[in-house]
Amino acid sequence: MWRQLPSLVSSSYQASWRSCRRCRSQRRSHCCQDRRLRRPRLLETIHSVETPYGSVTFTVYGTPKPKRPAILTYHDVGLNYKSCFQPLFQFGDMQEIIQNFVRVHVDAPGMEEGAPVFPLGYQYPSLDQLADMIPCVLQYLNFSTVIGVGVGAGAYILSRYALNHPDTVEGLVLINIDPNAKGWMDWAAHKLTGLTSSIPEMILGHLFSQEELSGNSELIQKYRNIITHAPNLDNIELYWNSYNNRRDLNFERGGDITLKCPVMLVVGDQAPHEDAVVECNSKLDPTQTSFLKVSNLLLGKLTEAFKYFLQGMGYMASSCMTRLSRSRTASLTSAASIDGNRSRSRTLSQSSESGTLSSGPPGHTMEVSC
Ligand code: BEZ
């Protein structure tokens, strides 16, 4: 999961009795009290719509920008939009990017804060049905196109949506995606694990690597605590079951079943899904797909890669970028024009020694990090 996390814990889990109701600062002097420190308040609206598969809740931040797609996110199992995306979307460098887009954060049914537990026997939607709920969200908001950002199960759902509605998806950022259905070997392993592990432990095994789990850092303890004590744990288990029963997305390079838009595949270098993401990369159109492997999903690296991804789609004019980013972009742009071929497959990988991101084949290395 993410690194450099400002807050992993959704507001309802935070001790708030002594803190400021607006910004939750525990300090006597803080942003809401000092005019000079006051941050502009985010316009945030929560909506629910009825769909053929039940109601779905989503939260909108910002206002629609003319001629720009919305950024639409879908979270992973065991999380909701806030616990999954708040660290990324509230990351400092991310602000200059997202302020140019309206954001729609979908919560899978029963995962939104305060969601009641579904009654016994409730038929939770399959991942394909969850994908089929998205058109209702976009229709309600009157949005025609999106750039999707999904993690794990959410990445699968957005991919399925893009396969079904290619004209409405301008780009996809897919983090830790596993596009394959579970084979019988996976099922056997899953059943065996289920005999000895609780649902929260199995979900933690999906979100984190074994190394991370055995390290039992503060971060892991926080997630373990959140999931184990979630009042909607029964709902979480239903989403988890739908994830494990997913169909194969059946991507085929050069075939009919493929993503038509630019795709940025992202995987943490210790993530349990590394092989699946690598295989996914091999099945997608190399002219449309970038592959980014980031150690521990560092937010700075991810933000930077996202910036270039949007820029590749013509959405981040260099005038929107910081001076530092602009100078880096200049080298990226010139390298791309020397190459004269914008449509090749790109592998972005983080060099552990220099701490840089490089892109493209040897000889076309583009330094994009500090
Ligand atoms: C956003 O600005 O899109 C955002 C803010 C808080 C949590 C998640 C997303």
Predicted local distance difference test score (pLDDT) of residue 298? 81
Confidence of residue 27 (pLDDT cuts 50, 70, 90): low
342 inside domain: no
**Of residues 25 and 59, more confidently modeled:** 59
Distance 98 CA to ligand 1 centre (A): 9
CATH (domain of 186): 3.40.50.1820
Distance 101 CA to ligand 1 centre (A): 11
Distance 61 CA to ligand 1 centre (A): 6
Does ligand 1 lie within 6 Å of residue 13's CB atom?
Answer: no
300 inside domain: yes
287 inside domain: yes
Alpha-carbon gap, residue 285 to 171, rounded angstroms: 13
Distance 80 CA to ligand 1 centre (A): 12
The protein residue whose alpha carbon is closest to atom 7 in ligand 1 is 86
In terms of residue numbers, what domain contains 52? 44-313
Q: Which of 172, 136, 138, 141 is nearest to 156 (CA)?
A: 172
Distance 95 CA to ligand 1 centre (A): 10
Question: Contacts by 50-53 with C-beta closer than 8 Å and gap 24+?
Answer: 50/136, 51/132, 51/133, 51/136, 52/132, 52/133, 53/109, 53/125, 53/129, 53/130, 53/132, 53/133
Query: Is the CB of residue 181 less than 8 Å from the CB of residue 248?
Result: yes
370 inside domain: no
Predicted local distance difference test score (pLDDT) of residue 227? 96
Predicted local distance difference test score (pLDDT) of residue 271? 82
Give mean pLDDT, residues 285-307: 90
Sign of the Cα torsion 181, 183, 184, 186 reads negative
Distance 86 CA to ligand 1 centre (A): 5
- With the most atoms of ligand 1 within 8 angstroms of its CB, the residue from 42, 80, 94, 101 to mutate is 42
Predicted local distance difference test score (pLDDT) of residue 297? 66
Average pLDDT, the chain: 80
Does ligand 1 lie within 6 Å of residue 70's CB atom?
Answer: no
Alpha-carbon gap, residue 84 to 71, rounded angstroms: 15
Ligand 1 nearest-atom number relative to CA 103: 3
For every residue of 327-367, DSSP letters joined together read HHHHHHHHHHHHHT-TTS-EEEEE-TTT--EEESSTT----
Ligand 1 nearest-atom number relative to CA 42: 2
Pairing of strands 289-294, 169-175: unpaired
Give mean pLDDT, residues 130-143: 98
Distance 222 CA to ligand 1 centre (A): 20
Domain tally, the chain: 1
Q: Which residues of 291-317 are buried (b: 16+ CB within 10 A; e: fewer)?
A: bbbbebbbbbbbbbbbbbbbbbeebbe
174 inside domain: yes
191 inside domain: yes
Predicted local distance difference test score (pLDDT) of residue 194? 77
Backbone angles phi, psi at 173, to 5 degrees: -110, 110
Residue found under tokens 């999906």:
206
Predicted local distance difference test score (pLDDT) of residue 2? 64
173, pLDDT greater than 80: yes
Burial of 275 (0-12, 13-18, 19+ CB in 10 A): exposed
The protein residue whose alpha carbon is closest to atom 8 in ligand 1 is 86
122, pLDDT greater than 90: yes
Does ligand 1 lie within 6 Å of residue 103's CB atom?
Answer: yes
182 inside domain: yes
Distance 92 CA to ligand 1 centre (A): 12
Does ligand 1 lie within 6 Å of residue 90's CB atom?
Answer: yes
What are 63-80's pLDDT values in tens digits?
999 999 999 999 999 999
Does ligand 1 lie within 6 Å of residue 61's CB atom?
Answer: yes
Does ligand 1 lie within 6 Å of residue 85's CB atom?
Answer: yes
Does ligand 1 lie within 6 Å of residue 10's CB atom?
Answer: no
Distance 307 CA to ligand 1 centre (A): 17
360 inside domain: no
What is the value of pTM for the model shown? 0.80
**Of residues 109 and 355, more confidently modeled:** 109
- With the most atoms of ligand 1 within 8 angstroms of its CB, the residue from 85, 112, 113 to mutate is 85
Does ligand 1 lie within 6 Å of residue 86's CB atom?
Answer: yes
